[in-house]
Structure 1
Amino acid sequence: MNDQKYSNLWNDELIRKHDLAGPRYTSYPTAPQFDESFGRNEWLRAAEKSNSASAPLSLYFHIPFCDTVCYYCACNKIITANKKLAIPYVEALKKEIDMQAIYIDRSRPVDQLHWGGGTPTYLTDEQMHDLMAHTRSAFNLLGNDSGEYSIEIHPKGVSPERLTKLRALGFNRLSMGVQDFDENVQVAVNRFNSEEEVLALVQAARALDFKSISLDLIYGLPLQTSASFAKTLERVLALKPDRLSVFNYAHLPDLFKTQKQIDSSQLPEPQEKLTILRQSIDTLLQAGYVYVGMDHFALPEDELAKAQQAKNLHRNFQGYATHGNCEMFSFGVSSISAFGDTFFQNHKTIDAYYASLGEDELPLWRGIALSEDDKIRQTVIRELICHFELPFSKIESQYPIAFSKYFAAELASLRSLEADGLLSIGDNSIDVNESGRLLIRRICMAFDKYLSASARDQLNAKAKPKYSRII
């Protein structure tokens, strides 16, 4: 997007027409397609294939614990003030590290590492040091600060002094969940962090030479208005984070039990929610941020924006990423791995996770091996969602297909979106127009074979996947 107001391209009627429920495409195929029959044998075959490829590694660690509950949260989490519960979990993570690392080529460098949650900083300083040291003993972590090693933090529970310890552990990127500075909204969702706390952490992170600081906001929360959210955004921009995410709150209380504590009558009306988003995009563009896509913005000099400009941006289970050549091995309850053309997910409950490790088994719940068609569609969706354009030659150079013939039905289905001005279909490419970037998930859905099958079979299906709406 250029520096013109995005509202010049905004069309409420068009947005409502295409604001369907659909995947966020942090993977393709998406998690509902995973098969519970996948286990150790499939994992070993995929690990062997991954070693043969010799690609660098991305490691993900899921820390599920939180001191208090945020009512909007849809993450896999355990709410407890009993810090002792983290003791066996860290030991379980160390055991899982050992069980995986023995099959992974030790020479492969770890270019990317991420701790997510939950709240990773729920762990004590000693536990974090122990876990990182164990990881370093099992994998080839980079010692020159050149990797992308990130951690999610809750500003309320981290002091500037603690950031010094995180930096010493090797973390060089921070993601902070702010959500909203409005006090009434914070009470409504039980999430508290003051502007002063966030400012102190941002200043400390810069002094410690953290390479990227990302702040997360959520629009669509109870008691939010376009005016109140504009004030929060103004206060956030004064901090000038390197990256900023403005996520859509999806109210799905039947799926996420904690959301039942939100008073749905206090949620902003759909039109107000659209106004919040439109004003936020305008404000961020005018402030000099690049619209990366899918809720994400970055300063032009940030690596995320540079990766998109260089056409090598990637998307994985943590969202947009700059290390698309990595194979991801993940640890902890519910975590998802992607290596050897296979996805694996660990057990979602901590009891099942512990039980598997107690029997000296990898805590695998389900997975899927990508077919050739899956890989083709995965590449198509990734190119569209990351770069908003798709030269057919890029797919044809990687796979033995004639794009227009292989995707004849999909191209035909996109004609209605072309007529609405969301994209342009040429003889040799698909180009997403600026008005279509906001609805990129809708465009990608045309190439989702499983989603199409689900739609055809939904009358006979016992249960169908639940997705949030695009906007």
Structure 2
Amino acid sequence: MNVNLDLVKKYNVPGPRYTSYPPATKFTDAVGVEEIRASIRRNNETPRDLSLYFHLPFCETLCWFCGCTTVITADYSKSATYVEYLGREMALLKPLLNPQRRAVQLHFGGGSPTFCQPDHLRRLGELIRGNFTFAPDIEAGVEVDPRRLTRDHLVALREVGFNRASMGVQDNNPEVQKAVHRIQPIEVTRQAVEWVRETGFASLNIDLIYGLPHQTPASFERTLDEILALNPDRFAVFSYAHVPWMKPAQKIVEARVLPTPEVKFQLLKLTIEKLGDAGYVYIGMDHFARPTDELAVAQRAGTLQRNFQGYSTRGGADIYAFGMSSISQTPDTYWQNLKDLPAYYAKVDAGELPYARGYALNDDDRLRREVIMQIMCNLGVDFEAMSARLGVNFRKYFARELASLDDLEADGLIERTDAKLVVTDLGRLLVRIIAMRFDAYLPRPTERRHAMTI
């Protein structure tokens, strides 16, 4: 694929990643606990399946690229205390939920979930099972940090019921690792992969990041080769989001050694070509999977979904999230827990759900969310099918947005007929730009809310 670098410059603008619509930047404290309780009660009327997320925020050291909500500490006893508070939070929510609802998905994220000691993980699993019913085919995924991982961690996670592991690597180049304060020799990663396989996890994903300091196409290709040799089932290859005005630790990262947008685009192109040659299917905008993987199957079937946990095949489930900063999602409401750990503890101690802010979707939001998620997940929109799905005349309702796509078509990012819009191979690299044309909430150019799209 040949890429006109003038297009890279033209379309390198701030934009959301669309793990939700509207994005979390629109959340407000005007949405209170009573409104959220009402949303949960409405949500119970049709007992949809549950996707459970637990945010485990602790890390021993801070990776300077990190955009997550973390607590940096070397005191492992903190995780034992935190696990008990998660249990108390679940107990506060449980009376609000229809007991017929089953958990079809479970995810531990962070932070570093494997900061928790194995017995702390077992205790958390015991608390979760005491409050929720697991579906027999539950998809249970956990993020693991190879640098602090032991085989005992993985044994404990398997006992809890986890069957998928996602391993952070980011880059194997020592110069890059030093620049982002995350030293992880390839030998450490290899050992972790071996343990994941030995302990019986059904699937292994490896996370990489492109756009980090000192990365070049040659150096990143070496990382790709080394990780391909480990034969993971999936890759997630994320674009580094440099937002130092939101994440102060990123101010330590020297902007002068970050790849230019043009080089960053080359890194993405290299990744797509190399993983494609190795037999992986490109999923959405940043995932890769074997052709038989359920993500690849869902993409072919047009049923792929996207949410705060990334791409998913369990789109019919509502997300109920626990722990500081975690975000829950029902069809008509988003809400987020308090981001400050002492404030989170104080709220639970008071016997109150630890919600901080949220967003209640209106009818227009729900329509636009469907269109944006179709673009982000299934790389196109069938106008008649979308009209039937949304209950509106798609062409009329989105006439202004459709008229705004002429430049994207001229630049080769999309193809259009009277019946549909299709994202091209080039457009896929800039899919956020296409989705943004249907976004009613984009900030003014002077507002800095989002990372650049490239």
Q: Which residue does the alignment assign to 2:335?
A: 344
How far apart in 1 are the matches of 2:388 and 2:199? 44
Q: Normalised by the size of structure 1, how large is the TM-score?
A: 0.93
How far apart in 1 are the matches of 2:331 and 2:367? 15
Give the 3 Å change call, closer, same or farther, for CA 467–325 of structure 1 in structure 2.
same
Q: Which residue does the alignment assign to 2:303?
A: 312
Give the 3 Å change call, closer, same or farther, for CA 11–211 of structure 1 in structure 2.
farther
Count matched residues: 454
Q: Which residue does the alignment assign to 1:230?
A: 221
Residue 419 (structure 1) shift: 1.1
2:7 is aligned with 1:14: yes
Match among 290, 296, 304 for residue 299 of structure 1 = 290
Q: Deviations over 1:385-409 (max 9, x none)?
A: 0010111122211222111000000
**SS across alignment from 1:177:** strand
Residue 153 (structure 1) shift: 0.7
Give the 3 Å change call, closer, same or farther, for CA 160–71 of structure 1 in structure 2.
same
Contact 1:49–1:340 at 8 Å: present in 2 too? no
Q: Deviations over 1:360-414 (max 9, x none)?
A: 1111111111111111111101111001011112221122211100000000011
**SS across alignment from 2:147:** helix
How far apart in 2 are the matches of 1:270 and 1:317? 26
**One-letter code of the match for 1:57?**
L
Q: Which residue does the alignment assign to 2:158?
A: 167
Contact 2:25–2:449 at 8 Å: present in 1 too? no
2:448 is aligned with 1:468: no
Pairs within 5 Å for 1:238-257: 238-257=229-248
Pairs within 5 Å for 1:319-334: 319-334=310-325
**SS across alignment from 2:351:** coil
Which sits farther off after the overlay, 81-90 or 346-355?
Answer: 81-90
**SS across alignment from 1:449:** coil
**One-letter code of the match for 2:90?**
I
Residue 275 (structure 1) shift: 2.3
Q: Which consecutive unaligned segments of at least 5 residues does structure 2 have?
A: none
How far apart in 2 are the matches of 1:257 and 1:321? 30
Q: Normalised by the size of structure 2, how large is the TM-score?
A: 0.97
Contact 2:61–2:72 at 8 Å: present in 1 too? yes
How far apart in 2 are the matches of 1:100 and 1:223? 46
2:134 is aligned with 1:151: no
Q: Deviations over 1:302-340 (max 9, x none)?
A: 111111111111000011011000011000111100015
Match among 388, 392, 412 for residue 397 of structure 1 = 388
**One-letter code of the match for 2:366?**
K
Residue 83 (structure 1) shift: 1.8
Q: Deviations over 1:214-238 (max 9, x none)?
A: 1011112122221111111100011
How far apart in 1 are the matches of 2:260 and 2:392? 46
Contact 2:243–2:450 at 8 Å: present in 1 too? no
Q: Which residue does the alignment assign to 2:266?
A: 275
Contact 1:390–1:429 at 8 Å: present in 2 too? yes
How far apart in 2 are the matches of 1:214 and 1:175? 5
Q: Which residue does the alignment assign to 1:65?
A: 58
**SS across alignment from 2:213:** coil
How far apart in 1 are the matches of 2:292 and 2:8? 31
How far apart in 2 are the matches of 1:414 and 1:165? 51
Contact 2:166–2:204 at 8 Å: present in 1 too? yes
**One-letter code of the match for 1:281?**
I
Match among 14, 27, 37 for residue 30 of structure 2 = 37
Match among 360, 367, 370 for residue 376 of structure 1 = 367
Q: Which residue does the alignment assign to 1:5?
A: none
How far apart in 2 are the matches of 1:26 and 1:289? 23
2:75 is aligned with 1:82: yes
Q: Which residue does the alignment assign to 1:213?
A: 204
**One-letter code of the match for 1:339?**
T
Residue 465 (structure 1) shift: 5.0
How far apart in 2 are the matches of 1:250 and 1:109? 35
**One-letter code of the match for 1:313?**
L
Q: Deviations over 1:143-201 (max 9, x none)?
A: x4x11100001111112343222112100001111011111211111112222222222
Q: Which residue does the alignment assign to 1:3?
A: none
How far apart in 1 are the matches of 2:251 and 2:393? 49
Give the 3 Å change call, closer, same or farther, for CA 199–347 of structure 1 in structure 2.
same
2:399 is aligned with 1:408: yes
**SS across alignment from 1:410:** helix
**SS across alignment from 1:447:** coil
Q: Which residue does the alignment assign to 1:134?
A: 127
How far apart in 2 are the matches of 1:331 and 1:162? 21
**SS across alignment from 1:382:** helix
How far apart in 2 are the matches of 1:84 and 1:92? 13
How far apart in 1 are the matches of 2:249 and 2:448? 20
Contact 1:391–1:430 at 8 Å: present in 2 too? yes
How far apart in 2 are the matches of 1:334 and 1:213? 26
2:84 is aligned with 1:101: no
Residue 32 (structure 1) shift: 1.5
**One-letter code of the match for 1:314?**
Q
Contact 2:304–2:378 at 8 Å: present in 1 too? yes
Q: Deviations over 1:223-261 (max 9, x none)?
A: 222111111110001111111111111222222111122
Contact 2:324–2:338 at 8 Å: present in 1 too? yes
How far apart in 2 are the matches of 1:129 and 1:61? 14
Contact 1:289–1:299 at 8 Å: present in 2 too? yes
**One-letter code of the match for 1:435?**
L
Which segments of structure 1 move beyond 3 Å, counting only runs of 4 or more?
none
RMSD: 1.5
Contact 2:119–2:156 at 8 Å: present in 1 too? no
Contact 1:189–1:262 at 8 Å: present in 2 too? yes
**SS across alignment from 1:102:** helix
Contact 1:62–1:115 at 8 Å: present in 2 too? yes
Identity of aligned residues (%): 43
Q: Which residue does the alignment assign to 1:114?
A: 107
Contact 1:160–1:200 at 8 Å: present in 2 too? no
**One-letter code of the match for 1:355?**
A
